[in-house]
Amino acid sequence: MRYLRTIILSLPLFLVAITGIVVSACFDPMDKYSIEVLLNKPGIKYNIVKLANLDNVVKLSDDIYLYRSHLSKYVVVIVSLQSLHPNGGEKYIAIRIEPRVIEERIERLSCRLYLAIPNMPRESVVEALDRACKLGWKYNENPIIRDRYVRAVMVKNVINYKVEVSIVWIKNETRITVVSENKTSDIVKVVNELLVKAFGARPIDNIPCMKLVEVKQKPIVNEETIKNVLEYELRWLRDIGVVKHLSDGDIAEIMDRAVLGHAGWNSRLVYNVKVGNWVPYAEVEGAVLIKKVGCSVSFNPEAVPEEAPVTYTAHPSMANSMLPIVMILGIAVVIAMIAIVLLSRKQ
């Protein structure tokens, strides 16, 4: 037995040694609202230092910069250097698009009723379940009917609300739990019909309820906006020389695979050389997944500049319009110098 235990305990280590895969997860609450891509395709180069010389860019470290997106003030762009695997190696440039989220409060009722019917034989419970089906109740899952144990979960929609009833029979006692999303008179009527006509129990007057408040996070912008930001920023970073040799075809392929949730170490888009396409990192053969909460870059939202970074380049039309002025000024300078020389000779 001791040898068997040793083999079982060693099996995960053996799998890691052979496949290089750690079956775990890297979770960050913002990942499901974000998109992140690691530009590890052979031939793509980068010069992340160029971001340090731009206004409205925050340098978090030598490998991490962030700024507000050019298309939406509610979206932050995080540019960082990452390796493909956690064991180090060559680093590549990664672009993460992360939206601002707000909290949404959702109020709902949770109604629950518990009943117990003593001295009820097993056969009576099975017959009650059949009568419940004839009343329009449906099994939510296959019932378990045994000699000493019976369990069934039945559901029925009443107007716009779902009513679920759990029936458990053990030791000649039937325990009924009613769970509802509300307690309207129609719901009470339907539940009483089940209790009286199917189980022969007494009717109820009310279903106890309590108000629950659920707080959910919700991004301010939609998925289309986040994808548009990703495409724009990839092109902008290429145009200013932070990313090099990233073709329009590469960007099109990335956008074809980009969806919300492809972010964070395990789910970021990376280039799979074997298949020649961009895939979530977890799908790469030999991927080493990370089990950790909060794997993404953390930052203070108040530290993000209000404006997006701007690169100042002379527009061709502006340069052409300035040419005559420059020529006139040049001629004027030459004439002035000649006049000075002539005057000095006369003196």
Higher confidence at residue 38 or residue 313? Answer: 38
Q: Residue 25 has what pLDDT? A: 46
> Judging by beta carbons within 10 Å of its beta carbon (0-12, 13-18, 19+), is residue 184 exposed, middle or buried?
middle
Q: What is the mean pLDDT of residues 58-77?
A: 96
Higher confidence at residue 12 or residue 215? Answer: 215
Helix or strand holding residue 213 (H, E): strand 209-219
CA distance 244 to 235: 10
Task: 268-275: list long-range contacts, CB under 8 Å, 24+ apart.
Answer: 268/36, 268/37, 268/38, 268/94, 268/96, 269/35, 269/36, 269/37, 269/38, 270/37, 270/38, 270/40, 270/84, 271/38, 271/39, 271/40, 271/41, 271/42, 273/42
Q: Residue 264 has what pLDDT? A: 92
Higher confidence at residue 321 or residue 143? Answer: 143
Q: Is pLDDT at 324 greater than 60 in this prediction?
A: no
pLDDT digit string (tens) for 178-220? 999 888 999 999 999 999 999 999 999 999 999 998 888 889 9
Higher confidence at residue 67 or residue 333? Answer: 67
Q: What is the mean pLDDT of residues 57-66?
A: 95
Q: How far apart are the first and last CA of the chain?
A: 118
The pTM assigned to this predicted structure is: 0.61
Higher confidence at residue 314 or residue 27? Answer: 27
Q: Residue 5 has what pLDDT? A: 28
Q: Residue 101 has what pLDDT? A: 92
Buried (b) or exposed (e) across 279-294, using 16+ Cβ within 10 A?
A: bbbbebeebbbeeeee
The rounded mean pLDDT for the chain is: 85
Q: Tell me if residue 33 falls in helix, strand or coil.
A: helix
Q: What is the mean pLDDT of residues 308-329?
A: 55
pLDDT digit string (tens) for 251-300? 999 999 999 999 999 999 999 999 999 999 999 998 888 876 555 677 78
Higher confidence at residue 302 or residue 161? Answer: 161
DSSP 235: H
Residue among 36, 37, 111 at smallest CA distance from 271: 37
pLDDT band at 317 (very low <50, low <70, confident <90, very high): very low
Please count the CA atoms within 13 angstroms of the CA of 107 that sit on its side-chain side.
3
Q: Is pLDDT at 334 greater than 80 in this prediction?
A: no
> Judging by beta carbons within 10 Å of its beta carbon (0-12, 13-18, 19+), is residue 10 exposed, middle or buried?
exposed
Q: Residue 155 has what pLDDT? A: 96
CA distance 171 to 72: 64
Q: Is pLDDT at 20 greater than 50 in this prediction?
A: no
> Judging by beta carbons within 10 Å of its beta carbon (0-12, 13-18, 19+), is residue 197 exposed, middle or buried?
middle
Q: Is pLDDT at 16 greater than 50 in this prediction?
A: no
Q: What is the mean pLDDT of residues 51-67?
A: 95
Q: Residue 339 has what pLDDT? A: 62
CB 48 within 8 A of CB 93: yes
Q: Residue 261 has what pLDDT? A: 93
Q: Residue 192 has what pLDDT? A: 96
pLDDT band at 149 (very low <50, low <70, confident <90, very high): very high
Q: Residue 202 has what pLDDT? A: 94
Residue with tokens 């109740």: 137
